[in-house]
Amino acid sequence: MKLSVLLVFVPADSGVDGPSLLGETGRPGILGSLKDSLLKNVIKRAQFAIPPLSLMILSSIREEGVEQHICDLRFETLPLEREWDLIGISVQTGAVKPSFELAALLRRKGFRVVLGGPYVTIFSERCRAHGDTLVIGEADDVWREVLVDLKRGRLKPEYRASELPDLSVSRPVDKSALDPRNFFTTNVLQTTRGCPYSCDFCNVHVMNGHQLRHRSIPDVVAEVGRFLEKDRRIFFLLDDTVNADEEYAEKLFGELAPFGITWVGQATTKLGENRRLLDVFSASGCGALLVGIESLAEASNRAHGKFHNPARRQAENIRAIRSAGICVYGSFIYGLDEDTAEEAGAIEAFLDDTGIDVPGINLLRPIPGTGVFDRFADEGRLLHDRNDHDAFRFSWGQEMLYRPKRMPLDEFIPSYTALTRRVFSVRHALRRAAAAPTLKSAVLMFNLFYVHMYGLSRRDLARQMEELCETEGGRSR
């Protein structure tokens, strides 16, 4: 009989994974519940409902005598009626508490639990008590060792990847551990890993290194062909910067053009300066790109270690990307260190000027393990104890977690909420969808979803303002 392994992805308790908990006070009424279940359904069917690539990679590692299954708790229930020889949990920073609670429940029921993922990689000591085994680092190669030891009945308390895996080695991903009906698409892949940049609010470069590691082009091309046999839906490329190596990207996407797929990914706006690569992206079926604009104030981006896309070139580059027929999701962070209240007006004017199809105006989430978290903690600017990671809500909830440098909270919060009220309106959603160069219905859906989500964020922030006034006697500085 085969040994069976279950790999679990845990939802965060707010934001895209659970709108009801965002800003709701008390129990929602019938209308509230209806709206909530409708929204959950929209989310389930929306772009966020992609399967976890990490668990797809691990479950594709074939070891004789072992079978592996994936359970994505955002969309499935835990199949505990079965006996599992090992249960692996992917611990993401937005969902540490529910992950540890799940691990405790499973261990009480007698299951052996292995923990891995970004949080385990960065904070292994904090995880040690919560699992029987920890896997630290990228597990593409180490996971086989775990499975072999499981078969021998000799699981170790800890496995650590001695080096970052060489991605040019072929590791075909097989999606049989997934139920495709649960997802918006199952066509999820990465062509590169690692990031040459060092933005201080991000920890990709901490976890995955500064050197960009490439998969082999024939491998990616073969994977796209294989994926298409079972699922013809849209492709999500999870690379942090799909144009980080322009030469590689030009060759790869040139070879993908004949498949006739539609794909979305993340890029830097530098793409707008490379006409040839833009044309290749467009011919290969690129429908939308998320670009990190962060602040329009150059000094703010510099203060956070982001140097690679100067604000002054952003508008022109975005216009070039859109005129190549590719939608732009523009991601801003309002409240970076040199931002003043003028940034709000600058963002609004920039949106009008460039026609960005889907704006995301985020509040900075200082995530433990990033440079910005440590710096804010040292400067006394975090609103919670630096050692109590559970006190912070990192996922897409929207109360403030820190004090901005150039604006007191009682100036910043009203400025931010007034901005999101103006930017995320039904009128703007309709207008953006009508003007989108492609994928008009997705642009409409995303914008309408944000009308709702930013509304919840405003409620969170209003409540936080009240609390701050109470606890700080009217001083929210």
Question: From the CB of 213, what's the least distance to ligand SF4, in Å?
Answer: 14
Q: Considering only CA atoms, which of 141, 1, 140, 142 is closest in space to residue 64?
A: 1
Please give the residues from 234 up to 253 whose contact with ligand SF4 meets the rule CB under 6 A: 240-241
399 in contact with ligand B12 (CB under 6 A): no
Q: Is 449 in the site for ligand B12 (CB under 6 A)?
A: no
Cβ closer to ligand B12: 146 or 315? 146
The reply to whether 150 sits near ligand SF4 by the rule CB under 6 A is: no
Binding partner of residue 456 among ligand SF4, ligand B12, none, CB under 5 to 8 Å per kind? none
Interacting residue with ligand B12 among 75, 227, 350, 394 (CB under 6 A):
394
Q: Using CB under 6 A, pick the residue from 59, 90, 241, 309 that binds ligand B12.
A: 90
- 367 binding partner (options ligand B12, ligand SF4, none; Cβ < 5 to 8 Å by kind): ligand B12
Q: Which residues contact 448 (CB under 8 A, 6 or more apart)?
A: 426, 429
CA–CA distances in Å: residue 43 to residues 16, 90, 145, 191, 360: 7, 21, 36, 26, 16
- Residue with the shortest CB distance to ligand B12: 116
Nearer to ligand B12, 317 or 457 (CB): 457
Using the rule CB under 6 A, which residue among 119, 281, 334, 402 binds ligand B12?
119
Does position 292 bind ligand SF4 by CB under 6 A? yes
267 interface partner picked from ligand SF4, ligand B12, none, CB below 5 to 8 A per type: none
Question: Whose Cβ is closer to ligand B12: residue 324's or residue 446's?
Answer: 446
Partner in contact with 88, chosen from ligand B12, ligand SF4, none, beta carbon below 5 to 8 Å by kind = ligand B12
Q: Which among 136-144, 220-228, 271-279, 283-291 is the span making contact with ligand B12, rule CB under 6 A?
A: 136-144
- Nearest CA to 88 out of 60, 63, 111 is that of 111
From candidates 18, 19, 23, 117, binder to ligand B12 by CB under 6 A: 117
Applying CB under 6 A, among 18, 19, 43, 54 the residue interacting with ligand B12 is 54
Stretch that binds ligand B12, among 48-56, 226-234, 415-423, 443-451 (CB under 6 A): 48-56
| Site for ligand B12 contains 114 (CB under 6 A) | yes
Interacting residue with ligand B12 among 19, 52, 272, 437 (CB under 6 A): 52
> Which residue has 């294989």 as its token pair?
226
Q: Which is nearer to ligand B12, 354 or 457 (CB)?
A: 457
List the interface residues with ligand B12, window 205-264 (CB under 6 A). 238, 240
Using CB under 6 A as the binding rule, the residues of this chain from 191 to 210 that contact ligand SF4 are: 195, 197-199, 202, 204-205
The single residue listed with the structure tokens 């009508």 is 434
**Among 18, 19, 23, 118, which residue interacts with ligand B12 (rule: CB under 6 A)?**
118
What is the SS3 string spanning the chain? CCEEEEEEECCCCCHHHCHHHCCCCCCCCHHHHHHHHHHHHHHHHCCCCCCCHHHHHHHCCCCCCEEEEEEECCCCCCCCCCCCCEEEEECCHHHHHHHHHHHHHHHHCCCCEEEECHHHHHCHHHHHHHCCEEEECCCCCHHHHHHHHHHHCCCCCEEECCCCCCCCCCCCCCCCCCCHHHCCCCEEECCEECCCCCCCCCCHHHHHCCCCEECCHHHHHHHHHHHHHHCCCCEEECCCCCCCCHHHHHHHHHHHHHHCCCEEEEECHHHHHCHHHHHHHHHCCEEEEEEEEECCCHHHHHHCCCCCCCHHHHHHHHHHHHHCCCEEEEEEEECCCCCCCHHHHHHHHHHHHHCCCEEEEEECCCCCCCHHHHHHHHCCCECCCCCCHHHCCCCCCCCCCECCCCCCHHHHHHHHHHHHHHHCCHHHHHHHHHHCCCCHHHHHHHHHHHHHHHHHHHHHHHHHHHHHHHHCCCCCC
Contact stretch for ligand B12 (CB under 6 A) within 137-145, 147-155, 245-253, 419-427:
137-145
| Closer Cβ to ligand SF4, 205 or 322, answer by number | 205
CB 244 within 8 A of CB 267: no
Among the residue ranges 202-210, 251-259, 329-337, 464-472, the one whose residues contact ligand B12 (CB under 6 A): 202-210
Positions touching ligand B12 (CB under 6 A) are 7, 11-12, 15-17, 48, 50-54, 57-58, 88-90, 92-95, 114, 116-119, 121-122, 135, 138-140, 143, 190, 202-204, 238, 240, 365, 367, 369, 394-396
Positions touching ligand SF4 (CB under 6 A) are 195, 197-199, 202, 204-205, 240-241, 292
